[in-house]
Amino acid sequence: MTATMTKPPVTPVPVASRAPRRKPPWASKIAVNTALLLATAYTVLPLTWLLVASTKSLGDLSGNAFTVTEFHFFENLGDLASADGGVYVRWYLNSLLYAVGGAGLGAFCSVACGYAFDKFSFKGKEKLFGVVLLGVLVPTTALALPLYLLASELGVVNTFWAVFVPVLVNPFGVYLARIFSASYVPGEVLEAARVDGAGELTTFWSISLKMLMPGFVTIFLFQFTGIWNNFFLPLVMLSDRELYPLSLGLYSWHTVVSAEPEYYPLTITGALLAVVPVVIAFLSLQRHWKAGMTSGAVK
Amino acid sequence: MSVQKSHRGAATLLMAPFFALFLGTLVVPIGYAAYLSLFTERSSGLGFGGTETLFTGLGNYLHALGDPAFRAGFGVIAGYVLGYIPVMVGGALVLALLLDSTLARAKRFFQLTLYLPHAVPGIIAAIIWLYLYTPGLSPVVAAMREGGLTWNFLSSDHALSSVINISLWEWVGYNVVIFYAALQAIPREVVEAASVDGAGELRTALSIKLPMIQAAVVMTVLFTVIGALQLFTEPMILNGANPAVNTTWTPNMYAYDAAFRRGDYGVAAAASILLALVAALLSFVVTRIGNRKGAA
């Protein structure tokens, strides 16, 4: 905000210094950084609002945005823990279970498969890989309804497995794992292990997997956030609120706020706490995020 | 010879878990939905004796395609794509080019803060923005009012722009990071040569850098269009707050509505399959265009 005010008046450039464009003028330096600051304000302010709003009581919420007459954060936390018989805590644990368990197991399957695609040759390999890539393009929400129809035929709707199993599959993870395997696991290492008489599976388990660890973390992180943020699949699969993940639980609270405004502070504080794990995971493991995002783009 | 054989065994074992999941949660459900989409349920003549399942061929597809609500959903998506893609891709490109210029400071900080909203679950992003759209709750609306601006985010005329804004907030920083990485991968000599030749920052950005990250831009457009077709979470939150956003506003909401409000699984399956087909067709077209441009 202040950057726009401190912007100096653009002085006419002396004719002599105009020809060589070595040093960028101050004005454009300030303009560029001001534009970036404004964009940052756009991305950060709504989260700042969420943070401030979580410290407010219901009465304060409708008042001035950034004035807090009483600091109500801990009361909100207490209300959150006890609301509807403590169901929020249950949702939080469910989300952790779905996301950590699902991403761990899913990433392992992807890494094993991508490694096999990279290190072994067999007939029709590239065609099979093409099928995996097609899977990347299948719209996930268009898939949720078919999954529900199948699950209801099998009678597993409204169970833990109905939400847990479908999120394990991650074709993009296989694609990434193949790239990572090609760059992290040198062929000579495998040759050496073969000469020593180690079986292929033993080699994978005790040598290659360690070398693939950074790739595993990257795939895990992407899948973790994907599952943590997943909403459509639990929405169609679950009706028992004891099985809800956070996304669906908060949605169910949100749908009643207009009738019962006391759910406003609960939804806001609950949303803030639900954002925390993904933000922490992102900030602490930035390098891995970038590796995953950019290996698709830079080519 | 024996080495080859053991390879095959190991490869099969390593690939089996993934492909079992791939079959069970991707191929089979789609196949089953395709099968279901060919049948319809009718209550038998006298109103008792339950329902019977009838084969209708493409009846459900014709029903969905003939339903103005379903077609209107694709109209909404078209409007959304036309509004959203230029703003999001254009904005992300501008920000990435600014970051990549020699003029920008604190590049890591900017990347981090721009990316941050992408870590927020979509449903929570939508809830935050809905509250920021709601008069009486929102500091944004209050500030705009004080400034003499009366923009009603929740009026039916502004439904599309309100949804676009939520998506923009979630995705713009993500794509900035992607484009920035692609820009960083451009060989420095190329950029330096341009500046030696007397090209300014702007000229270098437009005629050197931009063409070189075309592949990344095409990929982003492709994934954004596929994402747009699945539009669901954000309008689902605005449904009820904005009169224009009804329960069948997007094709995905239509499919959800068919399955859970009307209990018509055949039409729901047909709508899902149609959606997946349109997505597949669009990806095909976009990649074709991308390849042709890349080759030229």
* pLDDT, tens digit, 9 for 90 and up, residues B216-253: 888 888 889 888 998 999 999 998 888 889 999 999 99
At residue B46, the 3 state secondary structure works out as coil
At residue B295, the 3 state secondary structure works out as helix
Residues 163-192 of A with CB under 8 A from B: 165-166, 168-169, 171, 174
Q: Mind listing the pLDDT tens digit for each residue in B104-160?
A: 888 888 988 998 898 889 999 999 999 899 888 888 888 888 888 888 888 888 899
Query: Scanning every residue of chain B, which has its alpha carbon at the shortest distance from the alpha carbon of A171?
Result: B22
CB of B212 within 8 Å of any CB in chain A? no
Give the percent of chain B with pLDDT over 90: 41
Q: Mind listing the pLDDT tens digit for each residue in A202-254?
A: 889 888 999 999 889 889 988 998 899 899 999 999 999 999 999 999 999 99
* Amino acid symbol at B216: A
pLDDT at A299 over 50: no
Distances (CA, A) of A180 to A96, A177, A216, B182: 27, 5, 9, 18
CB of A193 within 8 Å of any CB in chain B? no
Q: How far does the CA of residue A169 sit from the closest CA of chain B (Å)?
A: 6
Query: Scanning every residue of chain A, which has its alpha carbon at the shortest distance from the alpha carbon of B34?
Result: A146
Residues 38-77 of A with CB under 8 A from B: 39-40, 42-44, 46-47, 49-50, 53, 61-62, 64-66
Q: What is the ipTM of this complex?
A: 0.84
The verdict on a CB contact (< 8 Å) between A199 and B10 is yes
Contact between B232 and A232 under an 8 Å Cβ cutoff? The reply is yes
Hey, CA dihedral for B99, B101, B105, B108, is it positive or negative?
A: positive
Give the pLDDT confidence score for residue A298 in this predicted structure. Answer: 41
A93-100: long-range pairs with CB below 8 Å, 24+: A94/A243, A94/A244, A94/A245, A94/A246, A95/A228, A95/A245, A95/A246, A95/A247, A95/A274, A96/A277, A98/A163, A98/A164, A98/A167, A98/A227, A98/A228, A98/A230, A98/A245, A99/A224, A99/A227, A99/A228, A99/A245, A100/A224
Give the pLDDT confidence score for residue A184 in this predicted structure. Answer: 86
The first and second tokens of residue A103, run together, are 């991403």
The DSSP output letter for A208 is I
Write a three-state SS string for A60-99.
HHCCCCCCCCCCCHHHHHHHHHHHHHCHHHHHHHHHHHHH
Who wins on pLDDT, B172 or A285?
B172
Give the pLDDT confidence score for residue A19 in this predicted structure. Answer: 44
The verdict on a CB contact (< 8 Å) between A278 and B120 is yes
Element (H, E) at B53: strand B51-55
Q: Mind listing the pLDDT tens digit for each residue in B36-70?
A: 899 887 765 555 556 778 888 888 999 999 999 99
C-alpha B27/C-alpha B29 separation (Å) is 6
Give the pLDDT confidence score for residue B296 in this predicted structure. Answer: 40
pLDDT at A297 over 50: no
- The tally of CA atoms less than 13 A away on the side-chain side of residue B242 is 28
Within 10 angstroms of residue A176's Cβ, the number of other Cβ atoms is 24
Residue of B24, B30, B169 lying closest to A46 (CB–CB): B169
Give the pLDDT confidence score for residue B1 in this predicted structure. Answer: 39
pLDDT at A16 over 70: no
Give the percent of chain B with pLDDT over 70: 92
The verdict on a CB contact (< 8 Å) between A282 and B119 is yes
Distances (CA, A) of A128 to A137, B15, B22: 15, 11, 12
Contact between B36 and A131 under an 8 Å Cβ cutoff? The reply is no
The verdict on a CB contact (< 8 Å) between A65 and B142 is yes
Give the pLDDT confidence score for residue B5 in this predicted structure. Answer: 55
The first and second tokens of residue A76, run together, are 């909100």
The verdict on a CB contact (< 8 Å) between A46 and B117 is yes
CB of A150 within 8 Å of any CB in chain B? yes
Cα B122 to the chain's mean position, in Å?
A: 12
Whole-number mean pLDDT of chain A? 84
The verdict on a CB contact (< 8 Å) between B10 and A29 is no
C-alpha A41/C-alpha B115 separation (Å) is 12
Give the percent of chain A with pLDDT over 70: 86
Residue of B102, B127, B229 lying closest to A139 (CB–CB): B229
At residue A230, the 3 state secondary structure works out as coil
The verdict on a CB contact (< 8 Å) between A53 and B232 is no
The DSSP output letter for B197 is T
Distances (CA, A) of A17 to A14, A22, A25: 6, 9, 11
